[in-house]
Amino acid sequence: MKIIIGNDHAGVEFKNTIMKHLEEQGHEVVNVGTDTLDYPDIAKSVAEKVLAEEGNLGIIICGTGIGISIAANKVEGIRAALCHNEFTARMARLHNNANIVALGARVIGDELGKAIVDTFITTEFSNEERHIKRIEKITNYENQLK
C-alpha cells in the first residue's frame, strides 16, 4: 500500500519511527514531512497527494495532532481523523472512511502510534448504507458552504 506521511517540527522523530515500521511491513511510504515547515503546509501537501491517486492513505503528525487535522480537513475530499487509540482508528476507517489519520507526537508513544497506524491502514470502510449516507451529508454540507 502507498502511504503518504508528513509532520511538522514536533513530529520528526515520531514520523521516522512510524516510517520505519511501515517500510518493514513492505509499504511504500512517501515522506513529505519536514523539520522546518508549519503544519498547515504539511497537511495540505499530504492531503493533495492522498487525493491524487485512489487508494492512497495519509498520516499527519504534529505535537498534538489537533492543528494538523484541522488544516487537512480544509482540503475538499479529505476526511482526517485525530486518533489516540486503536478503537478510534478502526472507527475512523470503518464508519467514516477516513483517508488520513492524525497523530500527536507529544500525546502518544511510539508503540501506540504503530498500533494506531496498523489498525488504520488495515481497516476497510464498512460500505454500510447508513455510513455512506452520513458521509454524503458531510460532503453536501461542505459544498453548501462554498
Q: Tell me, yes or no, if 131 is annotated catalytic.
A: no
Per the residue annotation, which of 62, 83, 84, 131 is the catalytic one? 62
Per the residue annotation, which of 9, 84, 95, 131 is the catalytic one? 95
Q: Which residues contact 71 (CB under 8 A, 6 or more apart)?
A: 39, 40, 43, 44
d(CA 118, CA 18): 10
Query: Whole-model pTM above 0.85?
Result: yes
d(CA 104, CA 20): 18
- Per-residue pLDDT reduced to its tens digit, 49-105: 999 998 899 999 999 999 999 999 999 999 999 999 999 999 999 999 999 999 999
CA-based radius of gyration for the chain: 14
Q: Tell me, yes or no, if 83 is annotated catalytic.
A: no
Mean pLDDT of 13-29: 96
